[in-house]
Amino acid sequence: MNEDEAALHARVWEYVRRHDCYLKGWDWANRREGSEKSDGSDCRNVVRDSPGPNRQEAPPATEDQTTSEGRTKGDGRTTKPTQGSEAEVDAEADAQWDAGDMACGDLVLELRRRIQAVKPGERLRLTARDPAAPEDIPAWCGLTRHLLIEADHPSYLIQRKEN
């Protein structure tokens, strides 16, 4: 593209601020980076889709293992998007966990550990493919008093309770 970086940044910001969905992601990134820009701009690095002639390729995204069927299998690691990766930024969550096919006691025991790892009031995006999850996750939230913000199987957004 060979565009001046400041001009590119200004152009990107101008586009982002007119689209609510992108603005949410931008605000989240600013909070993460500790930006104090009150008008919402900044967000320190503008990531290009393809490298210029003098740039190296961005490192591959950190991903969970994939089964031969092409499904993602949780391996217990928390996935976080890396700069330049194709992983989506979840503007609604402070942490993400793909539980894959974990179920029943294994699932909720590890879920309890994961929710305790975020701060009170913060949100965890859970992906749980267990067919019982649509029943179990709301039941678990009821028992533990963590808030179920969203439930759209296999995706669940859970907010850690304040106390």
Partner 1 sequence: MSGKFCVSLTHAKDDTDKATVAFVVANAALGSDQETVVFLSTEGVRLAVKGYADDIHEDGFAPLGELMKNFGESGGTIYVCSPCFKKRDLDENALITGAKIVGGAKVVEFLVGGAPSLSY
Residues within the interface to partner 1 (CB under 8 A): 104-113, 139-140, 143-144
CA separation, residue 18 to residues 24, 47, 49, 90 (Å): 11, 19, 21, 19
The nearer residue to partner 1, 43 or 146, going by C-beta atoms, is 146
Spacing of C-alpha 43 from chain mean position: 17
- Closest distance of CB 80 from partner 1, Å: 23
**Smallest distance from the beta carbon of 74 to partner 1, in angstroms?**
13
Residue closer to partner 1 by CB (options 70, 105) is 105
Put the strands of the sheet holding 147-152 in their side by side order. Answer: 95-100, 123-128, 155-159, 147-152
Please, which residue, 23 or 103, has the CB nearer to partner 1? 103
Residue closer to partner 1, measured from CB, 34 or 105: 105
Whole-number minimum distance, CB 161 to partner 1, in Å? 10
Closest approach of partner 1 to the CB of residue 81, in Å: 27
157 Cβ neighbours under 8 A, 6+ residues apart: 92, 93, 123, 124, 125, 126, 148, 149, 150, 151
